[in-house]
Amino acid sequence: MSKLIVFNSVSADGYFTDTKGDISWAHQNDPEWRDFTNQNASGDGILLFGRVTYEMMASFWPTPQASQQLPSVAERMNSAQKVVFSRTLNKVSWNNTRLVKGDLPTEVHKLKDTASPGIVILGSGTIVSQLAQANLIDEYQLAINPIVLGSGRTLFEGMTSPLRLKRTQSRSFRNGNVFVVYEPAKSA
- Rounded Cα distance between 185 and 187, Å, is 6
Confidence at residue 30, expressed as pLDDT on a 0 to 100 scale: 82
User: What does the pLDDT read at residue 1?
Assistant: 82
Top-confidence residue, 34 or 7:
7
pLDDT value at position 188? 52
DSSP symbol at 94: S
pLDDT at 118: 87
Go through the domains of the chain in sequence order and give each one's CATH number.
4-158 (3.40.430.10)
The pTM assigned to this predicted structure is: 0.90
Compute the 3-state secondary structure of the chain and give helix, strand, coil in percent, each to the nearest 5: 30, 25, 45
Q: Which pLDDT does position 172 carry in this prediction?
A: 95
Residue 144 has a pLDDT of: 96
Residue that wins the pLDDT comparison between 115 and 185: 185
pLDDT at residue 43 greater than cutoff 70? no
Confidence check: pLDDT of 34 > 70: yes
User: What pLDDT is stored for residue 64 in this prediction?
Assistant: 95
User: Phi first, then psi: what are they for 127, rounded to 5°?
Assistant: -65, -45
Tens of pLDDT, residue by residue over 73-108, are: 889 899 999 999 999 999 999 999 999 998 999 999
- Model confidence at 42, pLDDT cuts 50, 70, 90, reads low
Distance CA 14, CA 111 (A): 29
pLDDT per residue over 122-181, tens digit each? 888 889 999 999 999 999 999 999 999 999 999 999 889 999 999 999 999 999 999 999
| pLDDT attached to residue 123 | 84
CA-to-CA dists, residue 88 to 61, 97, 101, 132, angstroms: 22, 16, 8, 22
- Cβ-count burial 135-172 (b if 16+ within 10 Å, e if not): ebbbbbbbbbbebebeebbbbbeeeeeeeebeeeeeee
